[in-house]
A and B are shown apart, each in its own frame.
Chain A
Amino acid sequence: MPRFLFPIATGLVILTTWWAAHALGAFPIGTVPSPPEVAAAFGEELRSFRLIDDTIASLYRVAWGFITAVVTAVPLGLAIGRFAGTRAALMPWINFFRSLSPIAWIPFAIIWFGIGDPPAIFIIFVATFFQVVLATAAASAAVPKIYYRVAQDMRFDSKQILFRITLPAILPQLVIALRVAIGVAWMVVVAAEMIAVRSGLGFLIVDARNGLRMDLVVCGMITIGAIGIGLDALFARLTKIRSLAWGFER
Chain B
Amino acid sequence: MTAILELHAVGFDYGKNRVIDQLDFSVGKHELVVCVGPSGCGKSTLLALLAGHLEPTRGKIERRGQSRTIYQDGGTFPWLTVRDNIENGLPRTIVGDARMTKVDEWLEIMRLKEFPDHYPHQLSGGMRQRVEIARALAAETDVLLMDEPFSALDYQSRNRMRKELVATLAERPRTVVFVTHDIEEAVQLGDRVVVLGSRPANIRRVLDLPTTRPRLPANPGVAEAEQAIMDELGLS
Contact = CB atoms under 8 A, between A and B. Distances in A.
Contacts of A171: 79
Contact of A144 (B68, B74, B139): B74
A31 interface: no
A146 B71 contact: yes
B121 A246 contact: yes
Contacts of B51: 149, 152-153
Contacts of A250: 121
Interface in B46-92: 48, 51-53, 66-69, 71, 74-75, 77-80, 88-89
Chain B facing A: main interface SS? loop
Contacts of B75: 146-147, 150
Contacts of B77: 147, 150, 165, 168
A7 to B, nearest CB: 31
A69 to B, nearest CB: 24
B119 A154 contact: no
B121 A153 contact: no
Given A153-B51, A169-B79, A246 B120 contact: yes
Nearest to A244: B79
B89 A246 contact: no
A246 to B, nearest CB: 4
Taking residues whose C-beta sits less than 8 angstroms from the other chain, chain A's interface range is 20 to 34
Contact of A152 (B53, B71, B89, B120): B53
Contacts of B139: 153-154
A243 B88 contact: no
Nearest to A246: B78
A172 to B, nearest CB: 8
Nearest to B136: A153
Given A150-B75, A154-B88, A154-B89, A243 B119 contact: yes
B74 A146 contact: yes
Interface string A149-175: 110111100000000110011010000
Given A154-B88, A245-B119, A246-B119, A149 B69 contact: yes
B78 A153 contact: no
A150 B121 contact: no
Interface in B96-116: none
B174 to A, nearest CB: 14
Contacts of B78: 246-247
Interface centre among A153, A169, A245, A247 (most CB of B within 10 A): A153
Most buried by A among B79, B80, B89: B79
B224 to A, nearest CB: 37
Contacts of A244: 79
Contacts of A243: 79-80, 119
Interface of B: 48, 51-53, 66-69, 71, 74-75, 77-80, 88-89, 119-121, 139, 141
The 9 closest A-B pairs by CB, nearest first: A246-B78, A168-B79, A246-B121, A153-B68, A149-B53, A243-B79, A146-B75, A246-B119, A150-B75
19 contacts: A146-B71, A146-B74, A147-B75, A149-B48, A149-B53, A153-B51, A153-B67, A164-B88, A168-B79, A168-B80, A169-B79, A243-B80, A243-B119, A244-B79, A245-B121, A246-B119, A246-B121, A247-B78, A249-B121
Given A155-B66, A242-B119, 18 more contacts: A146-B75, A147-B77, A149-B48, A149-B51, A149-B69, A150-B69, A150-B75, A152-B52, A153-B68, A153-B69, A154-B89, A171-B79, A243-B119, A244-B79, A246-B78, A246-B119, A246-B120, A250-B121
